[in-house]
Amino acid sequence: MKKFSLVLLVGGFLFAENFTQIKSKITNSLKYKMQEKKIKIYEEKLKSIKAKNYGMLDLEYSAVHLFKQPVMKMDLARSMALPMSDKNHFTGVLKYSYPLFTGFAITNMIDKSKLELIKEKINLNNVKRVLTLNASKLYSNIYALKARINALEKAKEALLSAKEKAESFYKEGLLNKSSVDEIDAKYYEIVALIKETESQKNSLLNLLSYLINKKISKIDGIKIEKNNLSPKFENRADVKAIKETLKIKDKDIKLAKSKYYPQIGLEAGIKREADNFVLTDNDYQNVDKSYIALGVKYNLFDGGAKKAALEMAKLAKSTYTIYYNDYLNQVKTEYQNDLDTLNALFMRLRAAKEEIKARESYYEYIRSKFDEGLADSTDLNDAIAKLAEARAKKEAIKAQIFFLNVKLKLNGGYDE
């Protein structure tokens, strides 16, 4: 039986996941995979826009059957009608068109698409940052609940021991039945709290499993340390993404300016018109109608649409610049607040350790008094409950410190 219990214990430790292991599985999250697919979309978008630089090659073929034969009427001495073409008309053309000049629109579209792709790759890092942050929050909360369960289990053991002692005193007539019942009630209250806390812990484990798309049944411990890193906010993925957006806004301005330039295009085609479907015979015109053409298009008036579009692009960039500065200030403020909270938590942790010493000392004192019949069950129950609460509080503070350390690293521009 002991050997079997040892195997279960070792197995439990083997299957407990520490935070480093959980963090390594973040890329298995479905949210992360969705962002990876989004990057693929933007890669294809860039290829699509780059294709505009190579022009277009089209093949066209048409067959027309006229109900009446086309004729040319001549008003001479007598009215004459000369046939102009056959009733069946077939046309085939292989043409290549190339935009010689678009006001740098294509160049800026390609540059914008490149920046959008870079931004989505940065967003992938930001998704990982946010997922890691959420995972660390869940991990720390699960740890705190696990520690609370351990503290309650110790309280349950203490109450069980007190219950046995109280029943012994009762049998000897040294304690009344109500005192035994009070300890008994407290014992079952602790059991219920353990069950409730286990339920909360399991719910958070389920959320953690959902987050990383992998079943997590147990977690390991935590490591706490002082945060001595200087923040590098410019390295944060979300801040980088906003900066890329500002570059994209610059390209939008250039694209709006491209409308002020003429559009020049080149087209060359191998074209044949014939009376038969294989395009070899034309009794009325030449079969070969191949050509080369140069086209220029320049807008003289559009009611102010170009100017409005340019102003909108400029205003959009200006607005996003304000947003960037506001976001950066928000990031710095949140970081400083978290840092202040972390420093305060270390002081609270020191106080919690001292409180545990005091509660342990008080519990031992009350327990010895109870054993001697000099303290009642209410004092003993209170001492046990407050000791359990102090133990749980200390571990809860450690969990908060762990989470804030992770958060400060991630929000300070460092990969945890």
- Together in a domain, 115 and 195: yes
Comparing 239 with 181, the larger pLDDT belongs to: 239
- Together in a domain, 291 and 330: no
- Together in a domain, 267 and 405: no
Report if residue 156 sits inside a domain: yes
- Together in a domain, 86 and 203: no
Beta-ladder partners of 57: 96
At which of 272, 297, 322 does a domain end?
297
Decide: 337 and 361 in contact? Cβ < 8 Å: no
- pLDDT grade, residue 226 (50/70/90)? confident
- What pLDDT does 87 receive? 85
- Together in a domain, 167 and 249: yes
Q: How many domains does the chain have?
A: 2
- Together in a domain, 81 and 149: no
Report if residue 1 sits inside a domain: no
- Together in a domain, 249 and 339: yes
- Together in a domain, 41 and 89: no
- CB neighbours of 154 closer than 8 A, spacing ≥ 6? 387, 388, 391
- H/E stretch holding 83: strand 79-83
At which of 244, 271, 297 does a domain end?
297
Q: What is the CATH number of the domain that holds 31?
A: 1.20.1600.10
What percent of the chain has pLDDT above 90?
Answer: 76
Decide: 195 and 185 in contact? Cβ < 8 Å: no
- What pLDDT does 221 receive? 93
- What pLDDT does 5 receive? 43
Report if residue 303 sits inside a domain: no
Given a cut of 90, whether residue 36 has pLDDT beyond it is yes
Distances (CA, A) of 304 to 89, 255, 300: 45, 16, 10
Report if residue 11 sits inside a domain: no
- Together in a domain, 73 and 42: no
| Separation CA 139–CA 204 (nearest Å) | 8
Mean pLDDT of 296-322: 96
- pLDDT grade, residue 416 (50/70/90)? low
Report if residue 142 sits inside a domain: yes
- Together in a domain, 207 and 291: no
Helices 305-371 + 105-171 axis angle, to 10: 10
Mean pLDDT of 244-251: 96
- pLDDT grade, residue 78 (50/70/90)? low
Report if residue 31 sits inside a domain: yes
- Two tokens, residue 42: 């933007």
Residue with tokens 């980088």, as numbered in its chain = 240
Determine the structural domain holding residue 71 and report its residue range. Answer: 56-101+263-297
Report if residue 273 sits inside a domain: yes
- Identity of residue 70: P
| Separation CA 92–CA 85 (nearest Å) | 17
- What pLDDT does 103 receive? 93
One-character DSSP codes across 242-301:
HHHHHHHHHHHHHHHHGGGSPEEEEEEEEEEEESSTTS---SSS-SB--EEEEEEE--S-
Comparing 324 with 81, the larger pLDDT belongs to: 324
Report if residue 2 sits inside a domain: no
Helix/strand/coil percentages in the chain, nearest 5:
65, 15, 20
- Together in a domain, 119 and 234: yes
Given a cut of 50, whether residue 1 has pLDDT beyond it is no
- Together in a domain, 40 and 139: yes
Q: Encode pLDDT of 105-144 as tens digits.
A: 999 999 999 999 999 999 999 999 999 999 999 999 999 9
* Mean of per-residue pLDDT scores for the chain: 91
